[in-house]
Amino acid sequence: MAFTLSDEHRAIRDAVREFGDNEIAPVAREHDERKEYPKELIEEAARYDLVAPNIPEEYGGPGMDLLSSTVVTEELWRADPGIGSAIGSRGFGSSMILEFGDEWMKEEWLTAIAGGESACASAISEPAHGSNVAGMETRAERDGDDWVLNGNKMWITNGTVADVAVVMAKTDPEAGKRGISAFLVPTDTEGFSAEKIDNKLGIRASDLAELLLDDVRVPEENVIGEVDEGFYQLMNFFGSGRVSVAAQAVGAAQGALDAALDYAFEREQFGQKIGEFQAIQHKLAEMATTVEAARSLTYRAAGMVEAGEQRSAMKFASMAKLFASESAVEVADEGIQVHGGAGYVTDHAAERYYRDARITKIYEGTSEIQKNIIADGLR
């Protein structure tokens, strides 16, 4: 198996890199400081087909394969993880609609998401149930031809900006994993409200909220896929979701390395560039090696998920997510060290990459959960 990018993948990478360098990087710091959602940049990113790369052409998207989407995510996060997250998560949850939704859902929502007019949220986690997805308490009960949803969803990306949410809820509370269903819930439905969480450590340009569902009524046709099958439907996206977070981590690590390299050949001490000290050169060499190792594992996992090798793909996606996220934090930490005191303040991007990279060890399954999955896959 070759891990080189094709000409097409390289062309995508170069185009996103240009967009990142010209449009994202120059405004990254102010968006972080103001915790500002990059609305205008999202409109522009939509024109370049970057908001939901996986949505097929028939619904207005570019229909990219997983490796292409991986490269897009990586480059967006390399430019700035906060803005990269805001752009890259616009279609979060839409894979469920694409894979299991009815045609009307795809025509109405996928087109709007791909065009940049709408954002989607994926509401799984709850205040008392994060790693233990099957423990969720949000309840959906039948009432005539409708379903009525009640509960709280916590840490929901796009919570206050989404126009539609894919909400996971218990339809058979006694049945554990076998009693969960996915619902398409427009966020203007009565009883749906979102409370913004804006005290995040990093990715501050990205939107996060707690959702409250108070007698939210949706018709039967808003069930995505099969009743009680939601957990198993969700499992289909664990592989691609984890590859995507691995790509975020690779992008953040590469951004931190680029910043450190630039600084090392600007800053002088003892009459020479600090990049000429072997101690700094070795640091940069180790950072670069770690980034390449994380990238290789991520691309390989993307290839395996794309090829549909279910069991090994799950294991590799977890390995890529674990290794890339842990590496990103280490590389960003070393990036601060290369900057010395200047790395500890917001004048340079180094501290931002460090804060931003940290989330990749937590969402889409923490590092501890990835280790559980990898260990299960060894037998």
* Between 150 and 366, CB nearer to ligand FAD: 366
From 232, 233, 195, 206, select the one nearest 84 (Cα to Cα). Answer: 206
Q: Does residue 50 touch ligand FAD according to CB under 6 A? A: no
Torsion of CA 251, 248, 345, 343, to 10 degrees: -40
Window 131-170: residues binding ligand FAD (CB under 6 A)? 131, 155-157
Q: Smallest gap, in angstroms, from Cβ of residue 56 to ligand FAD?
A: 23
Determine contact, residues 71/154, Cβ cutoff 8 Å. no
Which span sits near ligand FAD by CB under 6 A: 59-67, 108-116, 238-246, 363-371?
A: 363-371
Residue whose pair of structure tokens reads 């309840």 in the numeric block: 139
How far apart are the C-alpha atoms of 205 and 220, rounded to whole Å? Answer: 36
Q: Does residue 368 touch ligand FAD according to CB under 6 A? A: yes
Q: Residue 211's Cα: distance from chain center in Å?
A: 19
Residue from 75, 126, 334, 364 carrying the catalytic annotation: 364
Q: Does residue 130 touch ligand FAD according to CB under 6 A? A: yes
Q: Smallest gap, in angstroms, from Cβ of residue 307 to ligand FAD?
A: 26
* Between 40 and 198, CB nearer to ligand FAD: 198
HSE of 240, CA atoms in CB hemisphere, 13 A: 22
**Is 364 annotated as catalytic?**
yes
Determine contact, residues 364/209, Cβ cutoff 8 Å. no
* Between 114 and 359, CB nearer to ligand FAD: 359
Q: Does residue 212 touch ligand FAD according to CB under 6 A? A: no
Question: Three-state SS across 352-370?
Answer: HHHHHHHHHHCCCCCHHHH
Q: Does residue 359 touch ligand FAD according to CB under 6 A? A: yes
Q: Smallest gap, in angstroms, from Cβ of residue 226 to ligand FAD?
A: 20
* Between 135 and 340, CB nearer to ligand FAD: 135
Among 322, 369, 373, 374, binds ligand FAD (CB under 6 A): 369
Distances (CA, A) of 247 to 24, 96, 298: 18, 20, 7
Q: Does residue 125 touch ligand FAD according to CB under 6 A? A: yes
Among 272, 289, 337, 372, binds ligand FAD (CB under 6 A): 372
Which span sits near ligand FAD by CB under 6 A: 37-45, 101-109, 125-133, 347-355?
A: 125-133
Phi and psi angles of residue 24, each rounded to the nearest 5 degrees, phi first: -90, -55
Determine contact, residues 359/202, Cβ cutoff 8 Å. yes
Q: Does residue 48 touch ligand FAD according to CB under 6 A? A: no
Determine contact, residues 76/15, Cβ cutoff 8 Å. no
Instruction: Tell me which residues are annotated as active site.
Output: 364
Binding site residues, ligand FAD, CB under 6 A: 92, 122-125, 130-131, 155-157, 208, 359, 362-363, 365-366, 368-369, 372
